C-alpha cells in the first residue's frame, strides 16, 4: 500500500478498520426510493397476477420502462456504493461477506420463483447480475479512472445491440446478455448491458468523492437528508432484507385476500 497523501486517505483507512464504515445518508435515501418504487411496481404486478388489475407487464412500455428505470437506479446506487467502499479502502473480507449474502439470496430467488413460476423462473435476475458485476467491478474498478468508467459503461450498454449469437440464448449462457431473443423469465438482468450502468455509478461516485479530497463527504452525496426523508435513508440501509421479504409478504397478503373472497 502506498503512503498516505492526504487526510482523506487517513480517514479512509480509519473507516475501513472500524466496524461501521462511513455511510452517506443521501445515497441510502436514494436506494430507499428505489426500493419503494420497486415495491409499488410489484404491488401492481401481483394485482395483475391475481386478475385484479388488467396490465401487460411484459410488453406494455408503461411497465417495461418503469422496470428499466428501477433496475438502473439500483445498479447506479450499487456502483456509487462500490466507489465509497473503494475510497474507504474496505477490505476483501467485508466484501466477501456482503457478496455471499447477495449470491445466497440470488439462489433463494431462483428457488422461490421456480416454485411460483416453473415455466419462467428466474435464473439470472437482478441479484444474480449484481453478484457477477460486483466481482468484476471489485477487480477492475480500482484500475479505472472516472472517464474510463464512462467510456466502458457506454461500450457495455451498446455492445448487446451489435453483438448477438444464438449460443447465448440458453439459460446457461444468457447471463452475458448477447442473446438474439429475450428469455422467458420473470426477471432478467444480464451482465451486458447492465454492467454499464454500474460502471457509470462507480465512475460518478469516484469523481464526486475526489472533488473534496481531505473532507469526509462529497457534494451531492454528502450531508444529511431532510428529516422527512430519514425513514427512506434507514430503509436504504436494509435494502437486501427488504428486497427478499417484500414479495413474500405481498403475495401472502394477497393470497389471504383471495382466500377470503373465494369463500
Total Cβ atoms within 10 A of residue 45 = 17
Residue 92 CB partners (closer than 8 Å, separation 6+): none
Q: Per-residue confidence of the chain (263 residues) as pLDDT tens digits? A: 443 343 334 344 444 444 456 788 999 999 999 999 999 999 999 999 989 999 999 999 999 999 999 999 999 999 999 999 998 888 999 999 999 999 999 999 999 999 988 999 999 999 999 999 999 999 999 999 999 999 999 999 999 999 999 999 999 999 999 999 999 999 999 999 999 999 999 999 999 888 866 555 556 676 788 888 899 999 999 999 999 999 999 999 999 988 888 64
Instruction: Return d(Cα 147, Cα 210) in angstroms, integer.
Output: 13
Residue 141 CB partners (closer than 8 Å, separation 6+): 82, 83, 86, 149, 202
Closest Cα to residue 124, out of 132, 134, 116, 115? 132
Instruction: Return d(Cα 260, Cα 263) in angstroms, integer.
Output: 6
pTM of the model: 0.87
To which residue does cell 452475458 refer? 176
Query: DSSP string covering 45-87, please?
Result: HHHHHTTSS---TTT-HHHHHHHHHHHHHHHHHHHHHHHHHHH
Amino acid at each position: 500500500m502506498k503512503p498516505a497523501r492526504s487526510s482523506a486517505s487517513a480517514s479512509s483507512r480509519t473507516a475501513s478498520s472500524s466496524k461501521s464504515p462511513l455511510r452517506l445518508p443521501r445515497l441510502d435515501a436514494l436506494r430507499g426510493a428505489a426500493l419503494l418504487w420497486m415495491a409499488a411496481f410489484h404491488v401492481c404486478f401481483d394485482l395483475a397476477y391475481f386478475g385484479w388489475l388488467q396490465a401487460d407487464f411484459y410488453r406494455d412500455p408503461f411497465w417495461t420502462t418503469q422496470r428499466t428505470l428501477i433496475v438502473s437506479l439500483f445498479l447506479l446506487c450499487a456502483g456509487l456504493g462500490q466507489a465509497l467502499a473503494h475510497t474507504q479502502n474496505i477490505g476483501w473480507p467485508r466484501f466477501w461477506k456482503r457478496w455471499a449474502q447477495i449470491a445466497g439470496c440470488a439462489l433463494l430467488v431462483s428457488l422461490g420463483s421456480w416454485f411460483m413460476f416453473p415455466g419462467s423462473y428466474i435464473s439470472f435476475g437482478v441479484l444474480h447480475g449484481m453478484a457477477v458485476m460486483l466481482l468484476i467491478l471489485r477487480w477492475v474498478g480500482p484500475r479505472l479512472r472516472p472517464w474510463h468508467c464512462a467510456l466502458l459503461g457506454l461500450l457495455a450498454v451498446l455492445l448487446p445491440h451489435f453483438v448477438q449469437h444464438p449460443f447465448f440464448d440458453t439459460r446457461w449462457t444468457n447471463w452475458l446478455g448477447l442473446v438474439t431473443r429475450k428469455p422467458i423469465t420473470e426477471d432478467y438482468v444480464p451482465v451486458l448491458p447492465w454492467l454499464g450502468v454500474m460502471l457509470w455509478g462507480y465512475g460518478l461516485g469516484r469523481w464526486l468523492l475526489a472533488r473534496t479530497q481531505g473532507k469526509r463527504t462529497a457534494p451531492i452525496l454528502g450531508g444529511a437528508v431532510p428529516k422527512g426523508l430519514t425513514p427512506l435513508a434507514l430503509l436504504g440501509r436494509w435494502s437486501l432484507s427488504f428486497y427478499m421479504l417484500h414479495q413474500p409478504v405481498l403475495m401472502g397478503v394477497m393470497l389471504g385476500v383471495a382466500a377470503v373472497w373465494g369463500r
